[in-house]
Amino acid sequence: MQKSSDAYIWFTWKEAKNAIDYDIEIASDPEFNNIIFTKKLKTNKYLYKASEKFDEIYWRVKASNERMYSNWTPVRKLNIVTSKGSMEDIE
């Protein structure tokens, strides 16, 4: 069951030629000293359930196949904005 404090975020990125897997990392800092999530995926999208309280998170992806890994993508920043009101409060 979803709690009101949970945030669901779709991460998507361009497919890499010859990629079989993707590694995604999400961190609370741009240097990735505090990684809060990591996962190996077979697709170029992921629905992340963020129950942590962060105003901003940073994420990056790298592709791989049987022979090699790509470099990490440039670090991307995501600002998380939450509201305690309802849609009726928006004018």
Tell me the C-alpha distance between 69 and 87, whole Å: 44
What confidence tier does 22 reach under pLDDT thresholds 50, 70, 90?
very high
pTM: 0.79
pLDDT in tens, 32-80: 999 999 999 999 999 998 766 778 899 999 999 999 999 999 999 988 7
pLDDT of residue 62: 97
| The pLDDT of residue 88 is above 70 | no
**CB 44: neighbour CB atoms within 10 A?**
16
Length of the chain measured in residues: 91
Handedness of CA 71, 77, 80, 81 (dihedral sign): negative
| The pLDDT of residue 6 is above 70 | no
Handedness of CA 18, 77, 35, 71 (dihedral sign): positive
